[in-house]
């Protein structure tokens, strides 16, 4: 049985392993990297822009030209948050430079373990398995000039797409199967990174301390999720009282259609 990659302890055990980290980066970003060390709960001193933020997993390549960050997110799926972390990583590179040069290319990979609950500016629900944000200037003809190459990649295995490359599919399957099919996961263990991750997070290979810490993290996650759910329901109640439409309430709060119907039944609205 696999450990649940929705759990912070299990996730960090897998992705702080160099074999797993390097294979993951290779398959998601498309190139090989050599790294010195992998850090967790990475913070920068002094704070960037007077904002204290923490990176789940962070590594720099040995030549110091590429900085890579992996951010696991299970709730608070707000792209403003991802964008903020991404831009702060870029700003941190410039802070260390003697001039305005940004010598390092920054890559940020966000892994979402729940479905998106957000919409674009036109109100359309976001349902993409892989989203890419690349920072490079373009000409008026749309020709890209490779000056920076900074890239944000957002992965969500809950929205499978047929045209997702197999290399990326392997990791999305690992994440999804570890959460939803832990006892009989269907995975591509021919991929050495996947094979190593499976070995690391198999339940029999977790130490008693890791199991205890994972349970503790899960209990905390459930408490937070319940609190967030309660807030969402309260906001939905207020919006119902204000006469808002069902679609607007669902987009705003992330609750399901059935939850909304139940609330309307309780309120009588």
d(CA 94, CA 90): 7
**46 preceded by cis ω (within 30°)?**
yes
Q: Is the pLDDT of residue 77 over 60?
A: no
> Please, is 13 exposed, middle or buried when counting C-beta atoms within 10 Å of its C-beta (0-12, 13-18, 19+)?
buried
Angle formed at CA 9 by CA 175 and CA 206, multiple of 5 degrees: 90
Query: pLDDT of 78-87, one tens digit each?
Result: 677 888 888 8
With pLDDT > 70 as the criterion, what percentage of the chain qualifies?
Answer: 87
Q: How confident is the model at residue 198 (pLDDT cuts 50, 70, 90)?
A: very high
SS3 195: helix
Residues 6+ apart with CB under 8 A from 207: none
Handedness of CA 73, 77, 80, 83 (dihedral sign): positive
d(CA 243, CA 71): 38
Q: How confident is the model at residue 218 (pLDDT cuts 50, 70, 90)?
A: confident
Query: pLDDT of 139-170, one tens digit each?
Result: 999 999 998 899 999 999 999 999 999 999 99
pLDDT of residue 185: 94
d(CA 43, CA 140): 39
**Mean pLDDT, the chain, as a whole number?**
85
Kindly report the pTM of this predicted structure: 0.79
What count of other Cβ atoms lies within 10 Å of the Cβ of residue 156?
25
């Amino acid at each position: 049985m696999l450990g649940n990659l929705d759990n912070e302890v299990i996730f960090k055990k897998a992705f702080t392993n160099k074999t797993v980290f390097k294979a993951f980066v290779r398959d998601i970003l498309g190139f090989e990297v050599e790294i010195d060390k992998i850090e967790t709960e990475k913070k920068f001193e002094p704070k960037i822009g007077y904002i204290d933020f923490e990176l789940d997993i962070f590594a720099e390549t040995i030549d110091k030209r590429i900085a890579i960050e992996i951010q696991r997110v299970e709730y608070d799926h707000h792209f403003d948050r991802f964008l903020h972390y991404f831009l702060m990583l870029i700003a941190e590179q410039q802070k260390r430079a003697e001039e305005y040069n940004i010598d390092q290319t920054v890559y940020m990979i966000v892994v979402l373990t729940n479905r998106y609950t957000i919409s674009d500016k036109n109100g359309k629900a976001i349902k993409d398995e892989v989203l890419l944000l690349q920072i490079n200037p373009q000409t008026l003809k749309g020709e890209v000039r490779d000056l920076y190459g900074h890239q944000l990649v957002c992965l969500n295995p809950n929205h499978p797409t047929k045209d997702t490359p197999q290399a990326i599919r392997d990791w999305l399957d690992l994440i999804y199967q570890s959460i939803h099919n832990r006892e009989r996961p269907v995975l591509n263990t021919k991929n050495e990174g996947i094979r190593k991750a499976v070995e690391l997070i198999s339940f029999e290979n977790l130490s008693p301390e890791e199991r205890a810490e994972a349970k503790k993290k899960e209990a905390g996650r459930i408490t937070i999720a319940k609190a967030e759910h309660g807030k969402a329901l309260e906001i939905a109640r207020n919006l119902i009282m204000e006469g808002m439409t069902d679609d607007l309430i669902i987009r705003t709060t992330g609750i399901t259609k059935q939850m909304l119907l139940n609330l309307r039944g309780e309120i009588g609205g």
